[in-house]
């Protein structure tokens, strides 16, 4: 499990970097009224695939790792442990859903390019906020 935990720890940086890229690119496309290009689509796909991998590794750790499903009942009385075992995963899945909705809506060729960029930006932003909460909440709880 140690190797998977390291992969999960390091892969988050790829997800974060791609999140920032798709956020900036979609915002610039929306505000600059730029065409929605193949690169926009490919970056959205790269973000969602990288995020899929991150969540898959996290789910494997949650099911088979030492702090996850096995400690679910014990973790409810400890806010820091509960965050790791429950809230971290819920926020990650919520962020993943937002990322996929943003990608899906931006792929809709019937929409104007401005709407495609705006939809992508809004849902990628929601995804990014949920991701940020995964990192910020433990600091706010003192852990």
Q: Tell me how far apart the alpha carbons of residues 40 and 21 are, in angstroms, rounded to a whole number.
A: 10
Give the pLDDT of residue 57: 96
- The pLDDT tens digits of the residues spanning 3-45 come to 999 999 999 999 999 999 999 999 999 999 999 999 999 999 9
Where exactly are the structural domains of the chain? 2-140
Q: For residue 71, what is the DSSP state?
A: G
Q: Is the confidence at residue 143, as pLDDT, over 70?
A: no
Q: Is the confidence at residue 1, as pLDDT, over 90?
A: no
Q: What H or E segment, with its residue span, contains residue 80?
A: helix 79-82
Give CA angle at 95 (48, 52), nearest 5°. 35
Give the pLDDT of residue 118: 96
Q: Which of 136, 116, 110 is nearest to 22 (CA)?
A: 116
- The pLDDT tens digits of the residues spanning 64-111 come to 988 887 888 888 888 888 888 899 999 999 999 999 999 999 998 788
pLDDT category of residue 130 using cuts at 50, 70 and 90: very high
Q: Tell me how far apart the alpha carbons of residues 104 and 111 are, in angstroms, rounded to a whole number.
A: 12
Give the pLDDT of residue 59: 94
């Amino acid at each position: 499990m140690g190797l998977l935990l390291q992969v999960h720890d390091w892969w988050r940086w790829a997800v974060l970097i791609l999140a920032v890229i798709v956020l900036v690119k979609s915002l610039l496309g929306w505000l600059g009224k730029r065409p929605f290009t193949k690169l926009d689509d490919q970056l959205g796909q790269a973000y969602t695939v990288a995020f899929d991998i991150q969540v898959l590794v996290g789910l494997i750790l949650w099911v088979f790792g030492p702090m996850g499903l096995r400690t679910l009942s014990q973790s409810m009385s400890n806010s820091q442990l509960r965050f790791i075992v429950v809230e971290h995963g819920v926020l990650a899945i919520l962020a993943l859903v937002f990322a996929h909705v943003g990608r899906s809506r931006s792929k809709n060729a019937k929409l104007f390019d401005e709407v495609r960029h705006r939809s992508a930006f809004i849902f990628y932003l929601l995804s990014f906020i949920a991701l940020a909460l995964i990192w910020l909440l433990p600091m706010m709880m003192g852990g």
